[in-house]
Amino acid sequence: MKVVLKRPRGVLGWRRVYRSYLQGFPPSERKPFWLIVRMTWQGKTDTWCLYAEGKFAGFCSTINGREAVLLDYLAVSPALQGKGIGTQTLHALQEKYRDRGLFVEIESPFEEGPDQSERIRRKQFYRACGMEPFGVMANVFGVKMELLGRNCLLDYEAYHEFYLENYSAYAAEHLQELPYPKQ
């Protein structure tokens, strides 16, 4: 299935994104949805609807910096997961932002818990798409995250600066550097 990225159009487009957002992320990883919409209107964020074979397949959003772009959210409709849509989306984003690096925050795969295997699979997915760990861990609004990226390299200070410049001082205040686990 070929994936096409399109901007949400009208209320229906944003409603699809919102449903996908609620379905794809636990409450601990969600920011207020109005903030995604506002940042998109302000040009700080790009929000994309994913279409496969002409049908809505999920959404993604980015926070855009001068040198790097944070893939803030990526959700594929559950019925279409495992069909290469996430991989194609990442490749499309890498092409769209080819003049900048692309990075992600993933919930720590190092933390033991009932969803650890899912977090490990998520890291394997991003690694298979060419993203490499930066060796940076951060507490982001109470969630332990690991940073991975492609065509860029961030240490914690550059990551914090990215938040200050492209997101908000409030968000940057809620970042905390964590030690990277020894493997």
DSSP letters, 1-60, are --EEEE---HHHHHHHHHHHHHHHS-GGGPPPHHHHHHHHHHTSEEEEEEEETTEEEEEE
> What's the one-letter identity of residue 68?
A
Residue with tokens 């893939």: 71
Beta-strand relationship, 101-107 and 68-76 = parallel
Residue with tokens 């996430």: 86
Classify residue 67 by its DSSP letter.
S
Stated pTM of the model:
0.93
List beta partners, residue 60: 48, 74
Rounded CA-CA distance 31/36 in Å is 8
Rounded CA-CA distance 108/41 in Å is 31
Q: Which two tokens stand for residue 10?
A: 């009208």
Residue with tokens 């932002």: 97
pLDDT digits (tens, 9 = 90+) for 68-88: 999 999 999 999 999 999 999
* pLDDT score recorded for residue 3: 93
pLDDT-derived band at 1, boundaries 50, 70, 90: confident
| 57 neighbors 3 (Cβ within 8 angstroms) | yes
pLDDT digits (tens, 9 = 90+) for 21-49: 999 988 888 999 999 999 999 999 999 99
Q: In the chain, where are the structural domains located?
A: 3-178
| 125 neighbors 74 (Cβ within 8 angstroms) | no
The CATH code of the domain at 3-178 is: 3.40.630.30
* pLDDT score recorded for residue 49: 97
